[in-house]
């Protein structure tokens, strides 16, 4: 078949994390509907790695003509071919490694070989979103034993790039997430880097949360650094706070997360593999993991936190990373602001030793930084906290933060206040704040437009144990965009996320964060 | 907010079983990217039931302008609004019943209430494809107990319409599938209807197989009947062979199947619930289930077939349907042809009592029809087969088939031969056919273009136990369309589906089909 080719056309449709191709119903070469029913096609030009895509059939020749193959923006980028270039199309067979996924569904244990094949197929975009969902659910909470988690972690590391910093100590920290406002990384990095340790912190952007560390840092500096620029910054300043998406570190993890998060299925095994694969690929030698525990945190009971700690320790030890786990108070958001601008404001207040700085954010960051500083063989056990506090109080952390911001490229706009649209949520009765729902507060900030609208979010006026009078403001919601403002307002009316009790003993932290 | 509406525009893109909406990146009212990250939107006009869709962001104003909301063909049909009509858009919250799915993932047992909520949300299109995949995998092979299968079956019946024929006996048959060419329904219906029993057989179209009964029947008559026409046909002829998609019988089942089939996950519980919900919704009182057993059939061992039989019996008894299970020989395709035209030819040869009629198709159809005829209280036990044979041999079945075809609307074209493009696959050595792979033969027919190309498919010249000489044709592959012809040829070269052995005892059927 010599003339069995279609011309590639980039269709201006952004299909997010899924590849989509568009074929005219009267395509001159292929039976569009036949392809569509089998759900995936493989697009090839002469030599290259095939690109897989879901097929949509088009009846409108202004979108795609019968001798063209339209592709969505993402697909066009992956193909890296010029428009008009000729390609072949064929049926995409289901990936071979789906056999292993089906065995997992049937309760079998998979081996290292199986996990590596699955990771390779996912990396090569051979899995559809439903196939990824099948793998995630099959390897859900109760179905991966600790050896399988190790295999999965290894497979995710091996299917991406790995950095080597050529230093004996490369430290990092990671929080398992779920606590709004918890921007400790932006304080830990300058403190630890000011101490002289190498802390190349790459962060993620929000997927379903109101802000990721990368989104918040972006208020202050550029975070989209090329791998080369990143290296310069780190060599110069010993630390950075940048978006990790430019390096191909554990790319399978990214693909899994984009399906897992909207499904809101929390698999402990996937979490451990996700965190450790990213950190090991990034070349970390020493890692501190923060597990917040609370009724609306990801981990709700101390016994769960302990199980999870052991899992991290087991896999970390096998993969030869020095790993410590700290269990922290996750009963409420950390700091005052939720959303990129408001969180960045909190971070700067702590660095500036302002009296307005949120005490819990300062305290927690010092604890974490102190533990990391104790990875330094020259630091006496138990002295880390004092060293961290000294670095922060003396202004050295602030100076380091300014240096990192400058090295990454400072943002011109310095406005860290909330958006122009706002409303307050007030107490319906007098009493004591007895519960703040992390999930609901995150949801409200998200609906208000965070993280896309940088100044959208929530500013908390009252925290757990605070006394409130009826009508007093509990928090303020900021938005920039009117429909989002309304979405957030509607959501607060359904559930404002706060409980007020009449007689409530200010509870002590039920986990000891020191 | 008065002016928060976008104008609906139908975009000529067929997104198959998924709703997709298209919003311009510079949409005047909403932040397109913010919606996209959360993966689903809800489209509402004043009063109607909301329609959910995945959001794609568009950069091309010729597809959709900033004050329009584009929708795919399917979505436009579901909205049933005129173009230009104004709609609201909001974030679609994940369906409440996903909480139950997550509990299932964690190994909990669900109750009737949970299954009903899941079915209602799926029926209302609140589940994305990945959420449906999560439910299917979570309730996979080992994870639904028999009570849960009963709950699921009931939930699927209750979320659709139910027919009532107002007769004491409404019979039906169903094969669990997986055997190419197995078109017994088109013989059982005329035989049983000729005996005077009511057999309103609604059939499915192929999803991943080379032909469904509806596709094959469509060679002979119209199968897209309105519910009213269908009723007329059945009242007049006591039977029909029509496509079931026009009635809203267990619509949840259809939505599950479109995700389940491409994933090729075989859940026994889902299968039982799927079959029984459809049959009960269709008003059947007596049902014969055919379970073929063979090394490449859906059920590979007799012990599995027995387990499955008990499951069918348990759920059937609870739901008050008279149900019998027959276990049949599923080691190879039934009949000679695979694909709509070739299968229809086989059926007509049997009805016409031709010497060329495939003996296995005739034999199996008589067995099944005989068992159904014995549901008739006036028939003495053991006499069904003889009655069925008499109806077939006397030409009364053929006459009934002609009457049904005429009532449904006969097709003008009478050509039941293979397509114009064909090639033969020949034996690589002399010997005896010792295995025919059902899955591979179905795959070859599918690649050749079946069921979309009606005359595409495979014609088997040799069956299990037949002697062949080297170079003799084993089967012929027909296609209508050149690229499909090539796809099938490539596939045959990889694996032609036949095993030839030197010394092979013609095996007796290892299950007794009488």
Catalytic residue among B147, B266, B424, B499: B266
Considering only alpha carbons, which residue of chain B is nearest residue A101?
A: B265
Do A262 and B140 lie within an 8 Å CB cutoff?
no
Tens digits of per-residue pLDDT, A11-27? Answer: 999 988 788 999 999 88
Tens digits of per-residue pLDDT, A289-332? Answer: 999 999 999 999 999 999 999 999 999 999 999 999 999 999 99
- Contacts B22 to A, Cβ<8 Å: 13
B22-54: burial string, b at 16+ Cβ within 10 Å, e else: bbbbebebbbbebbbbbbbbbbbbeeeebbbbb
pLDDT recorded at residue A54: 87
- Of B493, B384, B391, B501, the closest CA to residue B447 belongs to B493
Tens digits of per-residue pLDDT, B103-154? Answer: 998 888 999 999 999 999 998 888 888 899 999 999 886 678 999 999 999 9
Q: Which of B13, B265, B486 has the CB atom closest to A134's CB atom?
A: B265
Q: Which of B137, B452, B481 has the CB atom closest to A105's CB atom?
A: B137
- Asked if residue A2 has pLDDT above 50, the reply is no
* Angle made by CA atoms B28, B34, B36, in degrees to the nearest 5: 100
Half-sphere exposure of B217 (CA within 13 A, CB side): 32
Phi, psi of B157 (to 5 degrees): -70, -45
Q: Which of B1, B39, B453 has the CB atom closest to A483's CB atom?
A: B1
**Residue range A80-103: mean pLDDT, rounded:** 89
Do A60 and B94 lie within an 8 Å CB cutoff?
no
Token pair 């009212």: residue? B29
Residue A360 CA to residue A334 CA, distance in Å, equals: 6
**Residue range A149-174: mean pLDDT, rounded:** 94
Phi, psi of B449 (to 5 degrees): 125, -10
- Asked if residue A514 has pLDDT above 50, the reply is no
A437 is catalytic: no
- Of A366, A294, A371, the closest CA to residue A328 belongs to A294
Tokens standing for A138?
């099959």
**Segment (H or E) for A171:** strand A171-175
Percent of chain B with pLDDT over 90: 69
Work out the pLDDT band at B36, boundaries 50, 70, 90: low
Do A12 and B262 lie within an 8 Å CB cutoff?
no
Whole-prediction pTM value? Answer: 0.88
Residues counted in chain B: 514
Let me know: does A481 contact A334? Beta carbons within 8 Å: no
**Residue range B416-428: mean pLDDT, rounded:** 96
Considering only alpha carbons, which residue of chain B is nearest residue A57?
A: B14
Considering only alpha carbons, which residue of chain B is nearest residue A205?
A: B37
E strand intervals along A430-497:
431-436, 457-460, 467-468, 473-479
Q: Where are the alpha helices (DSSP H) in B334-474?
A: 340-351, 359-373, 384-393, 396-408, 438-447
* Paired residues of B432 in beta bridges: B467, B501
Q: How far is CA A457 from the centre of its chain?
A: 18
Q: Which of A106, A136, A207 has the CB atom closest to B141's CB atom?
A: A106
Let me know: does A205 contact A214? Beta carbons within 8 Å: yes
Tokens standing for A295?
């009724």
Residue A184 CB partners (closer than 8 Å, separation 6+) = A173, A175, A290, A334, A361, A364, A365, A368
End-to-end alpha carbon distance in chain A:
71
Catalytic residue among A266, A390, A424, A466: A266
Considering only alpha carbons, which residue of chain A is nearest residue B486?
A: A1
Do A37 and B207 lie within an 8 Å CB cutoff?
yes
Helix (H, G, I), strand (E, B), or coil: what is residue B88?
Answer: strand
- Asked if residue A99 has pLDDT above 50, the reply is yes
Tell me the nearest-neighbour CA distance from A13 into chain B, angstroms. Answer: 4
pLDDT recorded at residue B1: 40
Work out the pLDDT band at A93, boundaries 50, 70, 90: confident
* Paired residues of A467 in beta bridges: A432
- Asked if residue B404 has pLDDT above 90, the reply is yes
* Paired residues of B13 in beta bridges: A58
* Paired residues of A140 in beta bridges: none
Let me know: does B336 contact B358? Beta carbons within 8 Å: yes
Tell me the nearest-neighbour CA distance from A134 into chain B, angstroms. Answer: 6
Sign of CA pseudo-dihedral A131, A133, A136, A137: negative
* Paired residues of B89 in beta bridges: B43
pLDDT recorded at residue A48: 67
What is each CA distance from A230 to A81, A239, A409, B103, in whole angstroms?
29, 10, 11, 43
**Residue range B160-184: mean pLDDT, rounded:** 93
Tokens standing for B273?
């619930």
- Asked if residue A97 has pLDDT above 80, the reply is yes
Work out the pLDDT band at B93, boundaries 50, 70, 90: confident
Residue B58 CA to residue B314 CA, distance in Å, equals: 52
- Contacts A207 to B, Cβ<8 Å: 37
Tokens standing for A50?
């095939």
Helix (H, G, I), strand (E, B), or coil: what is residue A400?
Answer: helix
Do A483 and B30 lie within an 8 Å CB cutoff?
yes
Work out the pLDDT band at B513, boundaries 50, 70, 90: very low
- Composition of chain B by helix, strand, coil, percent to 5: 40, 20, 40
- Contacts B57 to A, Cβ<8 Å: 13-14, 16
Do B263 and A134 lie within an 8 Å CB cutoff?
yes
Percent of chain B with pLDDT over 70: 95
Tokens standing for B488?
């099938």
- Asked if residue A143 has pLDDT above 80, the reply is no
Let me know: does A16 contact A78? Beta carbons within 8 Å: no
**Residue range A484-491: mean pLDDT, rounded:** 92
Residue A365 CA to residue A385 CA, distance in Å, equals: 10
pLDDT recorded at residue A114: 97
Percent of chain A with pLDDT over 70: 95
Average pLDDT, whole number, for chain B? 91
pLDDT recorded at residue B514: 39
Do B486 and A60 lie within an 8 Å CB cutoff?
no
Interface predicted TM-score of the whole assembly (ipTM), two decimals: 0.85
- Of A217, A159, A341, the closest CA to residue A230 belongs to A217
pLDDT recorded at residue A125: 82
- Of A199, A120, A200, A102, the closest CA to residue A160 belongs to A120
Work out the pLDDT band at A37, boundaries 50, 70, 90: low
pLDDT recorded at residue B206: 84
Do A63 and B58 lie within an 8 Å CB cutoff?
no
CA dihedral of residues B79, B81, B83, B85 (deg, nearest 10): -110
Token pair 């193909």: residue? A79
What is each CA distance from B311 to B273, B301, B325, in whole angstroms?
10, 16, 10
Q: Which of A11, A59, A483 has the CB atom closest to B12's CB atom?
A: A59
- Asked if residue B214 has pLDDT above 90, the reply is yes
Considering only alpha carbons, which residue of chain B is nearest residue A452?
A: B34
- Contacts A483 to B, Cβ<8 Å: 1, 4, 29-31
Token pair 């469904």: residue? B212
Let me know: does A456 contact A415? Beta carbons within 8 Å: no
Helix (H, G, I), strand (E, B), or coil: what is residue B398?
Answer: helix
Do B16 and A36 lie within an 8 Å CB cutoff?
yes
Q: Which of B40, B99, B130 to mutate to test the interface with A (most CBs of A within 10 A)?
A: B130
Residue B405 CB partners (closer than 8 Å, separation 6+) = B220, B221
* Paired residues of B200 in beta bridges: B240
A275 or B247: whose pLDDT is higher?
Answer: A275
- Contacts B259 to A, Cβ<8 Å: 130
Q: Is the peptide bond before A28 cis (omega within 30 degrees of 0)?
A: no
Do A136 and B134 lie within an 8 Å CB cutoff?
yes
pLDDT recorded at residue B141: 62
- Asked if residue A344 has pLDDT above 90, the reply is yes
Specify whether the backbone of B305 is left (phi greater than 0), alpha (psi in -120 to 50) or beta: alpha
- Asked if residue B356 has pLDDT above 60, the reply is yes
Do B132 and A137 lie within an 8 Å CB cutoff?
no
Q: Where are the alpha helices (DSSP H) in A300-451?
A: 302-318, 340-351, 359-373, 384-393, 396-408, 438-447
Token pair 């428009």: residue? A83
DSSP state of B11: -
Residue B241 CA to residue B222 CA, distance in Å, equals: 9
* Paired residues of B326 in beta bridges: B290
Residue A468 CB partners (closer than 8 Å, separation 6+) = A427, A430, A431, A432, A433, A462, A474, A500
What is each CA distance from A407 to A291, A345, A401, A402, B380, in whole angstroms?
31, 20, 10, 9, 93
End-to-end alpha carbon distance in chain B:
71
Half-sphere exposure of B365 (CA within 13 A, CB side): 31
Tell me the nearest-neighbour CA distance from A483 into chain B, angstroms. Answer: 7
Tens digits of per-residue pLDDT, B255-284? Answer: 898 888 888 887 889 999 999 999 999 999
């Amino acid at each position: 078949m010599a003339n069995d080719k279609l011309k590639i056309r980039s269709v201006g449709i952004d299909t997010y994390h899924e590849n989509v191709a568009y074929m005219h119903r009267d395509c001159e070469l292929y039976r569009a509907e036949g392809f569509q029913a089998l759900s995936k096609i493989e697009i090839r030009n002469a030599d290259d790695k095939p690109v897989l895509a879901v097929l949509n059939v088009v009846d409108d020749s202004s979108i795609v003509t019968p001798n063209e193959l339209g592709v969505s923006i993402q697909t066009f980028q992956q193909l890296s071919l010029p428009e008009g270039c000729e390609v072949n199309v064929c049926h995409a067979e289901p990936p071979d490694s789906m056999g292993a996924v089906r065995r997992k569904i049937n309760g079998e244990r998979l081996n290292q070989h199986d996990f590596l094949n699955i990771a390779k197929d996912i990396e090569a975009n051979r899995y559809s979103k439903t196939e990824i969902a099948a793998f995630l659910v099959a390897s859900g909470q109760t179905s991966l034993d600790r050896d399988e988690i190790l295999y999965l972690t290894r497979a995710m590391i091996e299917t991406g790039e790995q950095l080597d910093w050529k230093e004996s100590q490369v430290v990092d920290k990671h929080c398992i997430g779920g606590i709004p406002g918890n921007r400790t990384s932006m304080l830990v990095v300058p403190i630890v880097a000011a101490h002289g340790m190498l802390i190349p912190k790459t962060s993620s952007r929000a997927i379903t949360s109101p802000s990721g560390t990368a989104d918040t840092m972006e208020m202050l500096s550029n975070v989209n650094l090329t791998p080369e620029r990143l290296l310069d910054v780190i060599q110069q300043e010993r630390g950075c706070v940048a978006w990790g998406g430019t390096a191909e570190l554990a790319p399978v993890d990214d693909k899994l997360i984009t399906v897992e998060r909207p499904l809101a299925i929390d698999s402990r095994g996937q979490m451990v593999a996700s965190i450790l694969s990213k950190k090991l690929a990034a070349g970390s030698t020493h890692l501190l993991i923060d597990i917040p525990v609370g009724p609306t945190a990801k981990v709700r009971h101390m016994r769960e936190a302990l199980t999870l700690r052991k899992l991290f320790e087991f896999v970390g030890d096998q993969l030869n990373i020095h790993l410590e786990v700290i269990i922290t108070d996750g009963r409420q958001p950390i700091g005052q602001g939720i959303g990129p601008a408001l969180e960045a404001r909190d971070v700067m207040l702590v660095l500036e030793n302002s009296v307005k700085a949120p005490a819990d954010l300062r305290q927690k960051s010092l604890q974490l930084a102190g533990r990391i500083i104790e990875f330094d063989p020259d630091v006496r056990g138990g002295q880390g906290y004092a060293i961290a506090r000294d670095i922060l109080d003396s202004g050295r952390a602030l100076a380091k933060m300014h240096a990192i911001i400058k090295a990454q490229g400072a943002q011109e706009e310095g406005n860290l206040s909330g958006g122009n649209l706002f409303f307050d949520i007030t107490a319906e009765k007098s009493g004591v704040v007895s519960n703040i729902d992390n999930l609901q507060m995150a949801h409200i900030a998200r609906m208000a437009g965070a993280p896309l609208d940088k100044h959208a979010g929530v500013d908390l006026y009252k925290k757990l144990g605070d006394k409130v009078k009826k009508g007093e403001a509990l928090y303020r919601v900021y938005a920039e965009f009117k429909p989002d403002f309304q979405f957030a307002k509607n959501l607060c009316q359904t559930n404002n996320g706060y409980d007020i009790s009449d007689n409530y003993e200010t509870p002590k932290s039920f986990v000891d964060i020191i």
